[in-house]
A and B are shown apart, each in its own frame.
Chain A
Amino acid sequence: MKTNSPGDSKIDWNALDNETFRGEVRLFFEEHYPSHLRYPKTRLRWHQIRDWYLTLSRQGWIAPAWPVEYGGMGLSPEKLIIFIEENERWGVGRAPDMGLNMVGPLLIQYGSEEHRREYLPKIIAGEHIWCQGYSEPNSGSDLASLRTEAVLDGEEFIINGQKAWTTLAQDATHMFLLARTDKSVKKQQGISFLLADMNSPGITVRPIRNIAGHEEFCEVFLENVRVPKTRLVGEINQGWTIAKALLGFERITLGSPKQAQYVLARLEELAVTLGLDQDAGFMDRFTQLRLDVADHAALYARFVDQVKRGEKLGPDVSILKVWATETFSRLASLMVEAVASAGATVGDVEFFGRHADILTSLYNARPATVYGGTNEIQRNIVASQVLALPS
């Protein structure tokens, strides 16, 4: 077993050739990732994924995209893509990663030196778990209309309002949030980006059960929550610009073909088990979806190459998310349809001695076309920014 203590984390991963690097990452995942957590059916809770998070942290691999000086691996875009591909290949579950993927990079770019010193090491160490306080009951797609308010009172902001659909807030120690700090200007111009401790008096978290029966998102109530002025990121009223800076890389992650490829493989197994591979009607639909997935991979590769060359992604990357999630959704629906009367049975369902989960994908496909900007919002973006259609 090869482990690198944090002491020798100065390895220049980018100097390795791609295949050596891929081999090292693959070996480590295969040896250390808990097998019962491969391809998890739901978002993993902190208590389930904590040990793996800490294992990666000790290995020096918890923040592959961060610069080395902040405890990251400092991977080049090309190596980062390999790292992500190996995660996906081995079915490594997603940890509560808002700290690593969102607030961390944001603080590196926009935070103060104090923010970086205070927060970044604790994200790396797994001491701070972050959640994202953006959506509100009346502000979903129209996020900029948010009404949670922060009023400056001496050296503190006093925050009042309500956040909604906050993923895994029940596991979080901290929340980064958007709050209105000026009501007199255009809605995008009166928003600030703040960091709050979830233990602050006045914060109440209430998990929301979803239609699959799981508690993955929460409501967060903020009642006279006091946050030191120093927890403002960037300038006051510049929160919208900061929040938007993150959307680029997120959209290529959301546009990965992996989720659809995974369901496709499950549906293929199921089709063989049920003898549907002899059914011409099923096969025509299955093959169409099979090629929808394969052809998506060709399009995804084109955007990945762009990232690897160090080019900035344009607004056209939105089409990846739309096609990835809608293909995933069509596959999930065909899976349910294919098993006919078994299409409402929860959990692993037995067919001729084999077991298959039917409903998880159907449920997971619902938020997929909603979060990260609904597919309708993505289409709006492409229509105006890529196709130059008038407003």
Chain B
Amino acid sequence: MMRNDETNDERAETLRLLKESAAAFAANESPLTRARALRGAQPDFAPAFWRKLAEQGWTGLLVHEQQGGFGLGFAEMAAVVAQFAARVAPEPLVPTAVFAARLLQCCPEGELAARLLSTLASGDLIASVAWQENAVQTDPCSVQTHAVPDGSDVRLSGEKRFIRPGTACEGFIVSALAKGDLALYWMPCGVAGLVVETELQADGSRAARLRLDGVRLNADQCLARGAAAADALARAFDETLVMASVELLALSRAMLAMTLDYLRTRVQFGKPIGSFQALQHRAVDLFIQQELTSALVAQAVSMLDGDAGVKERAAMASRAKARASDTALTIAREAVQMHGAIGFADEYDLGLYFNRALVLSAWLGNGLVHRRRFAAQNPLRSTVAA
């Protein structure tokens, strides 16, 4: 992804500037009061804020220049994503500007994908990827939804679930089996035969649940099929796992920092509670998890900007998502405990992070699912060394 005409130093400088501008923007434009106010809203994020993100160029950061994007790498995207995750911003940067964008980008050259991509990059299209069918699915390419030919059209039937963003999106990239091959279609909202329901998530956002009952799509709505579709989905899925891990790490850092502040300042028995060894040791264990996650996520991001093989990429992506998910949940739980009653109060901001951590750790598969995916793809050596 990294442009060849740039040296490492130049890239580091670009990265630093990007991070600073995203940090300043997020701090000024996305206070926690904004995230708090959007909980349970319809749609569950602010389209006007999405527009501002697009004006900064962040919705098209990963999109190639031919489609109106910036063609930057994952390190750059991670720098932006982390800043908004740290503010619990509800806009779908990772689901749309990473998952949908990268999936469209990885589809074979086609007029439809290119058009969708450039509208997405400019902020004029919110798209979601509808790949998942059951809660414990480990393989994004294994689907039950099927597409049957009907003249020059296809008819799609099946169910999709846990789709983010679930509100305000204009269409879905949906996966289905067509004559035994995986295929990806562009399915606009509002087509006949499509029922969109939403399931309320812990952070006040809504995940879409789709029921497709013979949804009729023109054959030219097909974005990719066969190996090309499977490769594109697997790649975009792995890339999204890593970017979701970046978000989870940002949440973990924010929650641990809040907790350490609290431990330093909350006084009981005449002392700051952070002077008690029982709490100090627990805080260190959380720090260890944060640092393991940080080292791993950094490796995973630089892997995406390099040229890892498919197997290595999947292994690293699942490792990152598993560790980042479990770390965020562990820190979230311990943060509430160490804060005591105030940690459980909705008025206190820790809860915003707690609830977002629940959503992001569950999304695309939690720690358990990704450890199982890793194990399935990396079986124990059947030949035992002497």
Contact = CB atoms under 8 A, between A and B. Distances in A.
A277 B323 CA distance: 22
Interface of B: 260, 263-264, 271-272, 274-275, 277, 279-281, 283-285, 287-288, 291-293, 295-296, 298-299, 319, 322-323, 368, 371-372, 374-375, 379-382, 384-385
B382 A389 contact: no
Interface in A366-391: 376, 379-380, 382-384, 386-391
B303 to A, nearest CB: 11
Given A299-B292, A382-B287, A383-B280, A271 B380 contact: yes
A302 B295 contact: yes
A386 B257 CA distance: 12
B275 A391 contact: yes
Contact of B275 (A288, A296, A376, A389): A389
Given A284-B371, A284-B372, A387 B384 contact: no
A272 B295 contact: no
Contacts of B288: 319, 322-323
Given A271-B380, A389-B280, 18 more contacts: A269-B381, A269-B385, A272-B382, A287-B375, A290-B375, A291-B322, A295-B292, A295-B293, A295-B323, A298-B295, A298-B298, A298-B299, A383-B281, A383-B284, A387-B260, A387-B284, A389-B275, A390-B274
A interface, size bucket: 35 or more
A379 B319 contact: no
Interface of A: 265, 268-269, 271-273, 277, 283-284, 286-288, 290-291, 294-296, 298-299, 301-302, 316, 319, 322-323, 354, 376, 379-380, 382-384, 386-391
Contacts of A383: 277, 280-281, 283-284
Contact of B292 (A265, A323, A382): A323
Which 8 A-B pairs have CB atoms at the shortest separation, nearest pair first? Answer: A383-B280, A299-B295, A389-B274, A298-B295, A379-B284, A287-B375, A269-B384, A298-B296
A376 B323 CA distance: 24
Contacts of A268: 380-381
B280 A291 contact: no
Nearest to B282: A379
**Is the contact region of chain A dominated by helix, strand, or loop, or is it mixed?**
helix
Contacts of B298: 298, 302
A323 B327 CA distance: 14
B338 to A, nearest CB: 11
B13 to A, nearest CB: 19
B299 A376 contact: no
Nearest to A302: B295
A379 B279 CA distance: 11
Contacts of A391: 275
Contacts of B275: 389-391
Contacts of A322: 284, 288
B361 to A, nearest CB: 15
A298 B280 CA distance: 25
Contacts of B374: 287, 291
B376 to A, nearest CB: 10
Chain B CB count within 10 A is highest, among A298, A379, A391, for A298
B295 A295 contact: yes
A273 B386 CA distance: 12
Chain B CB count within 10 A is highest, among A269, A301, A390, for A390
A383 B276 CA distance: 10
A389 B263 contact: yes
A384 B291 CA distance: 17
Contacts of B284: 319, 322, 379, 382-383, 387
